[in-house]
Amino acid sequence: MNITQILGTKYPLIQGGMANIATGAFAAAVSNAGALGLIGAGGMDLEKLRENIHLCRSLTDKPFGVNIMLMHPQADQMAQLVIEEKVPIVTTGAGNPGPYMKAWKEAGIRVLPVVPSVALARRMEQLGADAVIAEGTESGGHVGELTTMALVPQVAQAVNIPVVGAGGIASSCQVVAAFALGACGVQVGTCLLLADECPIHENYKKAVEKAGDTSTVVTGRINGTPVRVLKNKMTREYVKREKEGASKEELEVYTLGALRRAVFDGDDQNGSLMAGQVAGMCHERRPVAQIIEELFAGCGDVIARLQEEAL
């Protein structure tokens, strides 16, 4: 089965899980645009997740999914909730979803774990994953070590299920590149932050618009959870204290609640403005349907250029 058949979508595109950002309304907008919208359970409690699933269902008749952030203290209950609510598709991030796979597959859920390595991709295939999302360190938010360029072809070679490429994808040439590496679909997050329907604070959108190629940094690589965010006052202090050998507990003071400060309060100095390295290519505000359509409409020209000039 190819990835659009697995997802039931027009386009081979999955929206990133984006904790605290990807509401039921946003996921529905993405699904209505022909891609797979996801509700990001990362920033929610159980009740909020249930509400957002119901809201999403009321706004779209297209397939949608839930992204379960496995570091969430209620991940176990969320894994059960998606079964109860008959959510058709689940993606996971920030951990190994092995313990839930059997129950999800028995419930008929399509499961697409995000993997940062070949080892986890292989394990997921053995446990019945329908596809894997190979996410490179170019991504925003919690990241692994390998780049998309290195990770996608190694995962594609190692497994016999479809591989979706993620991390560093915001334009048609990057979609074509992901396919060239062996992916049969893409996941994007950063390029959707400027979508009209994306419910982040205006200051967050302005920070993405202003970003350049070197505007992101990974906090927590030395002693914590690596998270890619736009540079600001918080990251400068974090990185300084991290290099000085600060403990995980001290560093958590900078990050706890910081994503919510950015998304809801628009605190662009002390908040955690999660974004990928492609933020520097994202300038235009458009409806989400237009962003997605243009991403694929441009692929033909890229391929033609490759055939005529480059190779």
Can you give the binding site for ligand TUI, defined by CB under 6 A? Answer: 19, 42, 69, 71, 93-96, 114, 116, 120, 135, 141-144, 225, 227, 259, 274
- Of 90 and 114, the one with the shorter C-beta distance to ligand TUI is 114
- Of 62 and 201, the one with the shorter C-beta distance to ligand TUI is 201
40 close to 20: Cβ distance less than 8 angstroms: yes
Residue corresponding to tokens 């949608």:
64
> Given strand 185-188, what is the order of strands in its sheet?
13-15, 185-188, 163-166, 132-135, 110-115, 89-93, 64-69, 37-40
CA 233 to chain centre: 25
- Of 11 and 254, the one with the shorter C-beta distance to ligand TUI is 254
24 residue type, one letter: G
Start-to-end Cα distance in the chain: 31
- Of 3 and 124, the one with the shorter C-beta distance to ligand TUI is 124
- CA–CA gap between residue 268 and residue 304 (Å, rounded): 41
Residue 222 CB contacts under 8 Å (≥ 6 apart), including other chains: 242, 243
Q: DSSP assignment, residue 163? A: E
- Of 19 and 109, the one with the shorter C-beta distance to ligand TUI is 19
Residue 80 Cβ vs ligand TUI, minimum distance, rounded to whole Å: 20
- Of 265 and 293, the one with the shorter C-beta distance to ligand TUI is 265
Residue 230 Cβ vs ligand TUI, minimum distance, rounded to whole Å: 14
Residue 42 Cβ vs ligand TUI, minimum distance, rounded to whole Å: 4
Considering only CA atoms, which of 1, 10, 13, 11 is closest in space to residue 188? 13
- Of 172 and 276, the one with the shorter C-beta distance to ligand TUI is 276
Residue 102 Cβ vs ligand TUI, minimum distance, rounded to whole Å: 17
- Of 88 and 95, the one with the shorter C-beta distance to ligand TUI is 95
Tell me which residue has its CB nearest to ligand TUI: 141
Residue 172 Cβ vs ligand TUI, minimum distance, rounded to whole Å: 23
Considering only CA atoms, which of 110, 138, 133 is closest in space to residue 121? 133
Residue 153 CB contacts under 8 Å (≥ 6 apart), including other chains: 181, 182
- CA–CA gap between residue 178 and residue 292 (Å, rounded): 16
Residue 53 Cβ vs ligand TUI, minimum distance, rounded to whole Å: 19
Residue 192 Cβ vs ligand TUI, minimum distance, rounded to whole Å: 14
Task: Identify the sign of the CA torsion 285, 287, 292, 294.
Answer: negative
Q: DSSP assignment, residue 270? A: T
Residue 184 Cβ vs ligand TUI, minimum distance, rounded to whole Å: 19
